[in-house]
Amino acid sequence: MNADMHCHSYYSDGLLSPTDVMRRAHAHGVELITLTDHDETAGVSEARDVATELGMQFVNGVEISVTWGNEQTIHIVGLGIDVYNKALSDGLEAVRGGREARAMQIGDQLAREGIDGAYEGAMRHARNPALVSRSHFARYLVERGMAKDVKAVFSQWLGTGKPGYVSHQWATLEQAVTWITGAGGMAVVAHPGRYWLEHKEMEAFLAEFKSYGGRGIEVLSSSHKPDKVEIFADYARRFDLLASRASDFHAPGESWTDLGKLPDLPRDLKPVWSELI
């Protein structure tokens, strides 16, 4: 099954419309797809219509920003959610609400580094102004020639501790998992290779995630290379988690992989979609 359970449209920090994301997935042979915009479900119904028309199976999705423990930002994907669930949509609205003030602060900090107009520049890239994100700043800074690509902008300017970094309180882990499960969905740990968690912290995190009802982990992700897959497969086995396959596609050429192009899951793991379709 060519399943891709994590990608973005221009309703968050992706570059393409939900329609174009679905067309691209279909052209890559994807059979089961979800759209998981950050803290936002506005693109889901368009994506569902197009995916269905193209003959793909579709699962509703979202990716919720969470602050865990010592200022760690963690992302939790919700699969199979009812996007009309009130607690979920109110929760997402509250999470989105913090973004504009944060973006202004990022703009101020970059101005202090001699980069003016970054807030306005990022807003020009943000098709959904409620969802202005560091990706939009990154694209603006590339346009200004401040770094060679988006990845380089994060390591020079926007990553944790860099001059444009602003710490922020997102949802709690308990809120995110509860909103997702309360809306009939399955909570999945996004891109586990991206976090600065030692082995013991990762175990504490996964135990807490499970205690709230979390079910899955992205064993395949664009955030770690194939040689790291066994590490996360092992967490899935030891914590009895369902395994996801997740390109985290944002835009053509912004990552080493693309929609539907990741390898297969290790055969002994149970895929998240076994309980979704």
Distance CA 21, CA 48 (A): 11
Shortest distance, CB of residue 245 to ligand AMP, whole angstroms? 18
Question: How distant is the alpha carbon of residue 229 from its chain centre?
Answer: 18
Using the rule CB under 5 A, is 248 a contact of Mn ion? yes
Element (H, E) at 61: strand 61-68
In terms of CB distance, is 151 or 228 closer to ligand AMP?
151
| Near ligand AMP by CB under 6 A: residue from 151, 210, 224, 261 | 151
| Near Mn ion by CB under 5 A: residue from 4, 13, 40, 258 | 13
Using the rule CB under 6 A, is 13 a contact of ligand AMP? yes
Using the rule CB under 6 A, is 125 a contact of ligand AMP? no
Distance CA 204, CA 64 (A): 20
In terms of CB distance, is 248 or 258 closer to Mn ion?
248
Shortest distance, CB of residue 7 to Mn ion, whole angstroms? 7
Are residues 178 and 172 in contact, defined by beta-carbon separation less than 8 angstroms? no
Q: Which does 150 bind (CB under 5 to 8 A by kind): Mn ion, ligand AMP, none?
A: ligand AMP
Q: Return the residues of window 19-78 that contact ligand AMP according to CB under 6 A.
A: 38, 65
In terms of CB distance, is 133 or 247 closer to ligand AMP?
133
Are residues 71 and 167 in contact, defined by beta-carbon separation less than 8 angstroms? yes
Using the rule CB under 6 A, is 133 a contact of ligand AMP? yes
Report how far apart the first and last C-alpha atoms of the chain are (Å, whole number).
12
Shortest distance, CB of residue 13 to ligand AMP, whole angstroms? 5
Q: Is 221 left (phi over 0), alpha (psi -120 to 50) or beta?
A: beta
Selection from 223, 119, 99 nearest residue 170 by Cα: 99
| Near Mn ion by CB under 5 A: residue from 4, 37, 62, 75 | 75
Strand order from edge to edge, sheet including 216-221: 61-68, 72-79, 186-189, 216-221, 242-246
Contacting positions for ligand AMP (CB under 6 A)? 13, 38, 65, 133-135, 150-151, 154, 159, 250
